[in-house]
Structure 1
């Protein structure tokens, strides 16, 4: 299904392959015209369309104040400015016909905690030409057992830097380095968070209470009740029997893992392929919102805050 050139590499993805295979075109600013009812075309003042140079695909329409952030410059050169030489590209891709792109830079080896959680820290760089995303650099974690993306800070924010597509926005390298703490510092912080959550017990009764809060059951029969029942059944199966979750059953980490795994691999997907939906949620922040919402709900059930190290 991958054509003549596969999309998996046995080691680091060469930077030049990312440039050639993904970013080998330009996002061109084009004047915007509309059909004139008197005949011909009329220029729309103060507006521009951002168009792919290779196939003419219109990715977005903006005011003249919109500033393009070319993928090669912002997702390769800017990340190179942020990082050390012992980090490499682990994944990169285009979404929405090229209107959204990301590059993930990772450490070469996985990290395994004493609790048996194996993960790989990485830095996401993502931006868009359709207005859906400011240029974003953020730390994240890939959970190896289920190939899930998880929030790097879990309960904390401040793990990302955003630059708007405006002429007054600037990339400040020193500020970005300080805010992100770069990838190496992520392993210790995430390991401490995992340990804290694994030490937090969740009884069978508390798990049932979490399900009641996370997936409320409608009083009246119908489609909503059926969907809620199916979701609760799937979460229970993950909690009790799935090796991506059940080794940590009875802990707060198991709760986070169950909800995150459900969202990645079990939840119904409409209007997109699952892999694209998952990556869009990773680059736009949906996964961080999910993990933190899970912890807030669980904190309410346990009636105490979940304090995590970062």
Structure 2
């Protein structure tokens, strides 16, 4: 069972520009609650704060069972802050852990993480909404936002209003998203990426290299330099031209049937011995072949390097088995943490090796 139910996704994520990109895969009108979570145009900044970020991270002390005494050079002395709790078996003494704290949601009391005292939570409204509102201009708007892991992870995506379509028929949306967490899984991150409209895949802005990003650790003296964020945000306008040029190069790079089969051999090696591993490899290769030959998200670019990238990216986003997390959660976390960059780079590196074409990575 996924961590995020369909109801959670319909009530705790906001999807904008649906006139341009269509509805999200998880859209269910009967699970929307009092307000729909899809917007035909941009998502108002106030809606993100009101609907998603209306609560605060609260620091709470942590207590552990204790005798209430500790040894010092002066002998046993009471531990400061020790409290007593009445239980079914009697009175239990609890001593505070002075170098640890819990971060809880102010509205539900859900504990999102436990940290050392030096950890500084980056409140969503301050670090995502206020910062992005400062950076937005007339040509940029919020295109999506959401909470994952019971609110412990959040993102806000800034996008241009219109899709970009290359001469090869590849339609995409350049964007920059900010994300942070209260469970220790993410530093506050601002990162550029693109979304492929035909399959709703997040892809690296630079397919052959890691996309530009800014990361700020959750420390006492952490702060975001607006100049750096503005510089990163400005890159959103460069992404369209850079990505379109990459797509053109990849669409012009032919991949023969022999090279495609060689790519599958390298990308999904087939174990010699029968068993579960061989069955899984066979199923993956069969799915990739189906996407390559018949799926509208991939088949229009069959026989090209772009088709190879699309096949692997679409398989990973939409076909691969997901364990312990909902697909939307996993895909967003991969986009934030760099897994998308690694996926696209590895795909091109494997294809370049099969074709003996190092220029493919430098395109």
Q: The TM-score by the shorter chain falls in which range?
A: over 0.9
Question: Is the counterpart of residue 212 in structure 1 residue 265 in structure 2?
Answer: yes
Aligned mates of 1:141, 1:216 — CA distance in 2: 29
What corresponds to 2:127 in structure 1?
A: 74
What corresponds to 1:190 in structure 2?
A: 243
Shift of 1:287: 1.6
What corresponds to 1:24 in structure 2?
A: 54
**Cα deviation digits, residues 244-291 of structure 1 (max 9, x gap):** 001111111100000000011111112222222222222222222111
Aligned mates of 2:205, 2:256 — CA distance in 1: 26
- How does the TM-score come out when normalised to structure 2? 0.82
Q: Is residue 189–residue 214 contact of structure 2 (8 Å, CA) maintained in 1?
A: yes
Structure 1: runs of 5 or more not aligned: none
Question: Is the counterpart of residue 34 in structure 1 residue 82 in structure 2?
Answer: no
Q: Which of 215, 231, 238 is matched with 1:178 structurally? A: 231
Shift of 1:181: 4.0
Determine helix, strand or coil for the equivalent of 1:102.
strand
What corresponds to 1:90 in structure 2?
A: 143
Shift of 1:158: 4.9
Q: Is residue 158–residue 179 contact of structure 1 (8 Å, CA) maintained in 2?
A: no
Q: Which of 317, 323, 326 is matched with 1:264 structurally? A: 317
Aligned mates of 1:156, 1:218 — CA distance in 2: 30
Q: Is residue 57–residue 103 contact of structure 2 (8 Å, CA) maintained in 1?
A: yes
Q: Is residue 103–residue 124 contact of structure 1 (8 Å, CA) maintained in 2?
A: yes
Question: Is the counterpart of residue 296 in structure 1 residue 326 in structure 2?
Answer: no
Choose 1 or 2 for highest CA Rg: 2
Aligned mates of 2:347, 2:134 — CA distance in 1: 35
What corresponds to 1:154 in structure 2?
A: 207
Range moving further from structure 2, 211-220 or 2-11: 2-11
Question: Is the counterpart of residue 10 in structure 1 residue 63 in structure 2?
Answer: no
Q: Is residue 66–residue 167 contact of structure 1 (8 Å, CA) maintained in 2?
A: yes
Determine helix, strand or coil for the equivalent of 1:32.
strand
Show structure 1 runs of 4+ deviating over 4 A: none
Q: Give runs of aligned pairs for residues 58-73 of structure 1, distance below 5 A.
A: 58-73=111-126
Aligned mates of 1:9, 1:266 — CA distance in 2: 27
Q: Give runs of aligned pairs for residues 77-156 of structure 1, distance below 5 A.
A: 77-156=130-209
Range moving further from structure 2, 299-308 or 229-238: 299-308
Q: Is residue 193–residue 308 contact of structure 1 (8 Å, CA) maintained in 2?
A: no
Q: Is residue 192–residue 211 contact of structure 2 (8 Å, CA) maintained in 1?
A: no
Shift of 1:96: 0.3
**Cα deviation digits, residues 76-98 of structure 1 (max 9, x gap):** 11123333232111110000000
Range moving further from structure 2, 274-283 or 51-60: 274-283
Q: Which of 196, 202, 222 is matched with 2:275 structurally? A: 222
Q: Is residue 135–residue 233 contact of structure 2 (8 Å, CA) maintained in 1?
A: no
Aligned mates of 1:120, 1:129 — CA distance in 2: 29
Q: Which of 275, 284, 290 is matched with 1:231 structurally? A: 284
Aligned mates of 1:40, 1:276 — CA distance in 2: 40
- How does the TM-score come out when normalised to structure 1? 0.96
**Cα deviation digits, residues 27-64 of structure 1 (max 9, x gap):** 01111111225632110021111111001111011111
What corresponds to 2:17 in structure 1?
A: none
What corresponds to 2:79 in structure 1?
A: none
